[in-house]
Structure 1
Amino acid sequence: MRIKYSYYRDSSISWVGRIPKHWETKRLKYIFRIQKRIAGELGYNVLSITQHGIKVKDITSGKGQLAMDYSKYQRIYTGEFGMNHMDLLTGYVDISKYDGVISPDYRVFSQIDNQSDKNYMLRLLQMCYKQKIFFAEGQGAAQLGRWRMPSDNFKNFLFPVPPKQEQIAISQFLNYKVAKINRFVQQKRQILALYTERRKSLTRNIINSKGVKYLRLNSVAKLIERPIERLDNDIYTPIGVFNKGRGLFHKPPTLGKELGDSSFYYLKKGDVILSGQFAWEGAVALVGINDDGCVASHRYPVLDCDLSNIAPEYLFSLFTISEGHLLLDYHSRGAAGRNRPLNPRFLIKEKIPVPEISLQKELIEFVRKENELKTLINREIALVEEYKAALIAEVVTGKIDVRNYAIPDITEGETYEELEEELSIAAEDGEEYETLED
């Protein structure tokens, strides 16, 4: 059962609303000090900030976006905060676990207020990114991905601040709850990964069966373009493609006049779509019924299969195993970090194993079930991730009192039903969990 505090007062912070009566509000300049220390030399770990936190960057393999001169990067020490304040749409913030250097475009800051718990503050900062609260403090060109938070806006940003011991209790509660949710998500993804491996194993068995012919790809599938008649006020749904054969995703619906300078083409169910830039990372997908009518830019080559000779499900699956991936990698040339564009005109001249169509049909039902499982699991994951984000927001802003919550000793074996029960209890208490921006 959710427990609220006994007494509340107005916080004077629009995105927080009411806070417990004994909580304070503080500007960030009284909690943190911005640091600016230029490295001036090489020899340090190079760090980057992603939605997964601060990580050590690989600058020796040539993968990823690389800088010309790391001596101009700034120092960051273990325990300090790093923040991508230049991109308030997709940026993030984290506490560094490493000594190293980080982009001069990022913000490094350290805690100066000994009355604040570092982990509680991190939860608040990360929530302000995920809920787009920092976005209102930005300046720049958001449509170009440049929406930065000026230093003065950061320094004067108001935070709700409970007593330190209460901050620690909140951090411990959220650590337990978030770990529980993350284990559930990991288990669900493992189930899907096992099913995907079964599909890949079936594909390998099929290509090693008798009667397999090696035919040029362009004899069983063709590159196809279905240009859209772009109308300024019509709405189109562009797609993107995940790597490692994880399928495609829908970008936000966009007016024709805002699609940009790229040429766009319609997709149809059964198309096999490749990423022109990241095919070598396994960015290939099968267009499903829910993707029919979406649009792809010219950066995504599309293959239309001759159904009498090759099933789209088979061709897609072939590209996700080593035999097909080798072709995608071979025809993706380049040396500038991850910029290795695919040459589809050369790819379609390659010979591929083409089993009897009757054998390929075994994959059709398998892929259908895999897609159903993926839809179900993704829906479950989305639900608990929404719950996690809302739970964090409500706890760190004082809508729920967790001071007396007893964290169980045993944390293994949680089920989805337990999480579902928590969601039901939240709804019965009269306040459904919603994001603050809603």
Structure 2
Amino acid sequence: MAWKSVPLGEVVSVSIETVEIDPTAAYQMAGVYSFGRGLFRREPLSGAETSYKRFHKLSEGMIVLSQLKAWEGAIALVDKRHADCFLSTQFPTFRCDSVSADSEFIAWFLRLPSVWERLRQGARGMGARRDTVSPTKFLELEIPLPSLDEQHAIAQRLNYVEAHLQERATVLQALERETRAMLQNAFNKIVEGADYRPLGEVAPLVRRPVEVELDGEYPELGVRSFGKGTFHKPVLTGADVGNKRLFEIHDGDLLFNIVFAWEGAIAVPGEKDHQRVGSHRFLTCVPEPELATATFLRYYLLSPEGLHKIGTASPGGAGRNRTLGIKKAEQITVPVPSLEAQLGFDKLCALADEIQTIRAETAKEADALLPAMLHQIFEQQSSASAAPAGKTGNVVSLPVPSGRSEVDSRFKEAVLVAAIIKAFHEEGGQPLGNFRLQKAVYFARRFLGETVLDGEYLRKAAGPYNPTMRYSGGIKVALDKNWITPASGKYGPGHSPGAAIGEAQSWMDKYNFTQAAAWVRDKFKFKQKDIWELLATIDYAMLALSHQGTNPTSQAVLSYIDQDPEWHPKIAKLGLTEPAIQNAMVELESLFPAAIGAK
């Protein structure tokens, strides 16, 4: 059914319950978080402690507006937990007309950053921190409004996704806490009674000077404080290096940034860090293989006892002037339990790191999922095909995924390949590798409404793979036409736009491939390769099961992958469990909402 665009004031009105303040009474105060994060409770306030004459009382179902911070998302729907709380008169309250609007649907709309920006533009004041949003400006907001039943359904779906994301986050946080506690208990046991020896004996300093050439390239490595590991800095040229001394860093070193070691800038580089470089401020110590492991030593040095010793060995003034002295570092004593015990502890550390990585990736994906769903529902779907304005306002229709732009020939596939290469090149200028190009074409075809790709794509180790695309299909045709060209960048080999890319533009527009390519780029550009593979694999399995007449539940998807000889290793590689698959399915539902109904 078509959506119509109406002023918020047509379905929401001011509804304020004012309470005169009694100096002898206590009031449970509330506050409104910015960025759409809802309400929170403040400390109770005595009526005698405030200069206000009256408060606004909250009740369930109200919408609360912070006039001071609405432009940065300080708007909330009152739930049961915050009913009967109080706010100052700077927080007007509103109610929805239940005949035409669902309050939860309205509240989700008000969590759109684009809505906050519109409020900011309409705010009055002198400078951002003094801008205020009046109730009148708030009610002038245009809102896309489907039928009441559809509003209910959308709100329930978003509530479901948010609840499950919060549940998963809580479970993973608890698991990480338990793992860290287990790790600390294990460490305490193995160091009990252990001998302490100078770090210089256990893990002596090893320098690997780099000979700098003017036309050379030198990828730098950094170390985060507070034990948060390494990170990659931009590649330096020989001219950038100048007279600075560089030293090579290897996988498995015990690495210190001497300027920030006192606040935990200590790490063990991994395979991806191998042979990167650091300045003279980076110390690389190599544990004697019969005495200690780098992971165990890092854990100790990041403990309160270890950091105290690092701090003592870092003379200097307050804050950033403290520097770990090389001689003093070598004299720091560290526990040296049996090597067998250390190796066992390293395995526990790897498990804890894996859990932390999973939680971080889950949190990252969860943080992106709801905004993506809101954008799709309120900004893409509701504005896809607006009709001319009439007496009843602008009427907009939801887009219907269909096969109208189906990639049903090698030529069309070549046009899509060219559109994707062009879109990604416009974003960062780097070539797009074959792995991501294969997946990007798959995702673009799904965006265009295709649901029979499981018959065209093969189940390969890297996920759904279309072999003809490279040797006789879209990639080959696009290369032959010089729409794309092989290229190599800092991330390795791939493809960039060719000299004749302009010839393909009219075809991209004709087939609506420009939009599809931009969608894939914007949705996936910041996702790691494993996430590309995970989502494509789960989506493919769901399609295949659906076409077989099997309900694609998370259990069915896991069984499908487990029973396929080519895909079975993915269970370990991608950490596939029913909860992980369910999480991916929630995201896929936001990406391709009309594709598959059941989970």
TM-score range, shorter chain: 0.5 to 0.7
The answer for the alignment partner of 1:364 in structure 2 is: 346
**Is the deviation greater in 414-423 or in 216-225?**
414-423
**1:205 partnered with 2:193:** no
Q: Contact (CA 8 Å) 2:260, 2:323: kept in 1 or not?
A: yes
**Superposition map of 1:84-95 within 5 A:** 95=74
Aligned to 1:421: 585
Query: CA-to-partner distance for each residue in 1:323-353, whole Å, 9 max, x for gaps?
Result: 21221233345565x5363414222222222
Taking the aligned partners of 1:259 and 1:191, their CA distance within structure 2 comes to 45
Equivalent residue, structure 2, for 1:81: 69
**Mapping for residues 22-421 of structure 1, pairs under 5 Å:** 22=5, 80-81=68-69, 95=74, 123-124=112-113, 161-162=142-143, 177-178=161-162, 180-209=164-193, 212-228=194-210, 229=212, 234=217, 236=219, 238-243=221-226, 245-251=227-233, 253-256=234-237, 264-333=246-315, 336=318, 338-339=319-320, 341-345=322-326, 346-399=328-381, 416-421=580-585
Alpha-carbon spacing, 1:178–1:297, altered in 2? closer, same or farther (3 Å): farther
* Shift in Å, 1:183: 4.2
Measured after TM superposition, the shift of residue 427 of structure 1 is 4.3
Give the Å deviation of 1:176: 6.9
1:313 positional shift: 1.9
Change (3 A) 1:191 1:255: same
- TM-aligned CA deviation for residue 259 of structure 1: 6.5
TM-aligned CA deviation for residue 371 of structure 1: 3.7
Query: What secondary structure is seen at the aligned counterpart in 2 of 1:238?
Result: strand
Tell me how far apart the structure 1 counterparts of residues 116 and 220 of structure 2 sit (CA, whole Å): 28
Say which structure is richer in helix: 2
CA, structure 1 residues 362+384, in 2 after alignment: closer, same or farther (shift >3 Å)?
same
Which of these two proteins has the greater Rg computed from alpha carbons?
2
Q: May I ask how many residue pairs the two structures share in their alignment?
A: 309
Give the deviation of 1:272 after TM superposition: 1.6
- 3-state SS of 1:369 partner: helix
Q: Distance in 2 between matches of 1:285 and 1:348?
A: 17
Q: Distance in 2 between matches of 1:161 and 1:257?
A: 56
Structure 2 gaps of 5+ residues are: 9-33, 39-65, 77-89, 96-105, 118-126, 132-139, 384-577
Do the aligned partners of 1:127 and 1:392 also contact (CA within 8 Å) in 2? no
1:80/1:370 CA distance change after superposition, 3 Å:
same
Residue aligning to 2:134 = none
Report if aligned partners of 1:184, 1:416 keep a CA contact under 8 Å in 2. no
TM-aligned CA deviation for residue 270 of structure 1: 0.9
- Identity, in percent, stands at 18
Q: Give the equivalent residue in structure 2 for 1:144.
A: none
Give, as a single letter, the amino acid of the residue that structure 2 aligns with 1:313. T
Residue 120 of structure 1, CA deviation: 5.6
| Gap change, CA 1:215 and 1:233, over 3 Å in 2 | closer
- Give me the whole-angstrom Cα distance separating, in 1, the residues matched to 2:199 and 2:238: 36
User: CA, structure 1 residues 364+419, in 2 after alignment: closer, same or farther (shift >3 Å)?
Assistant: closer
Give how far 1:306 is off: 1.9
The whole-number CA distance in structure 1 between the counterparts of 2:198 and 2:113 is 56
Distance change >3 Å, CA 269–CA 308, structure 1 → 2 = same
Q: TM-score, normalised by structure 2?
A: 0.40
**Partners in 1 of 2:208 and 2:247 — Cα distance?**
5
The verdict on how the C-alpha distance between 1:164 and 1:340 changes in structure 2, with shifts beyond 3 A counting, is: farther
CA distance in 1, matches of 2:157, 2:593: 19
The alpha-carbon deviation at position 194 of structure 1 amounts to 2.5
Task: Give the drift of 1:310.
Answer: 1.8
Q: For structure 1, which segment, 313-322 or 378-387, has the greater mean C-alpha deviation from structure 2 after superposition?
A: 378-387
CA deviation vs aligned residue, 1:47-96 (integer Å, no higher than 9, x gap): xx99x99xxxxxxxxxxxxxxxxxxxxxxxx763399xxxxxxxxx6659
- CA displacement, residues 116-156 of structure 1 (integer Å, 9 cap, x when unaligned): x998666406998xxxxxxxxxxxxxxxxxxxxx99xx9xx
Q: How big is the shift at 1:226? A: 3.3
Deviation at 1:300, TM superposition (A): 3.9
Distance 1:427 1:397, change over 3 A: closer
Residue 455 of structure 2 corresponds to: none
Change (3 A) 1:191 1:400: farther
Change (3 A) 1:197 1:331: farther
List per-residue Cα deviations over 1:10-47 (Å, max 9, x = no partner).
xxxxxxxxxx661689xxxxxxxxxxxxxxxxxxxxxx
RMSD between aligned residues: 5.3
Deviations 1:378-413 (A, max 9, x none): 444444344244224334525379xxxxxxxxxxxx
Paired residue for 2:462? Answer: none
The structural deviation recorded for 1:204 is 2.0
Which ranges in structure 1 are unaligned for 5 or more consecutive residues? 1-5, 8-19, 26-48, 54-77, 84-92, 98-109, 129-149, 402-413, 433-438
Pair 111,21 (structure 1): closer, same or farther in 2 beyond 3 Å: farther
Letter aligned with residue 336 of structure 2: V
Distance change in 2, residues 1:202/1:307 (3 Å): same
